[in-house]
Amino acid sequence: MTTYTCPEALEISTAADGVPVLLTYKAGSTVTPKTEAEAQILADLCAAGVVSVASSKTPKTKAAAEETE
């Protein structure tokens, strides 16, 4: 799961099944996307330089998890 840092206040307008959705993030906040659509929006904003990655964790495979244990 990737979390993002918002350097400035953001207001995001989008739609889910044709219904308007408004997301707001405060300046300096760290955002963990709650839905796949939100994760996609934040990834696009990261590519555009609007937000930056705060942390990124790749889910471990079962084998890797067992190895760690």
Partner 1 sequence: MPLQAALAQVGVAKQTAKGTAIANPEYAFGITDGSILTVDVQQEREARTSAYLASTGVNRTGVVAGFDFSCRAHAGSIGLLSFLTLGTDTFATSTHTLTAGTSVNYATIFGKQGSTVYALQDAKVDSLEFSWDGNAPLGVKASGMGTTVNYSTATFTPGTDDTYAVYMRPAGGTFSVDVDGASGTAAVSTITSGTVTLSRNLQEIMVSGTITPADVFEGALDVDVSFDVVIDDWNLWRTIVTGTSAGTTAAAAPTYGTFSCQFTDGTNTLTLAGSRVAFTADVPSADPAGGPLTLSLAGLSVMPLAGGTPFTATLVGGKGSAY
Residues that bind partner 1 (CB under 8 A): 8-20, 22, 36-37, 40-41, 43-45, 47-48, 50
Tokens of residue 12, six digits: 């995001």
Nearest residue to 7 via CA among 21, 26, 35, 27: 27
Q: Least Å distance between CB 19 and partner 1?
A: 6
Residue closer to partner 1 by CB (options 13, 68) is 13
> Within 10 Å of residue 25's Cβ, how many Cβ atoms?
19
Residue closer to partner 1 by CB (options 14, 65) is 14
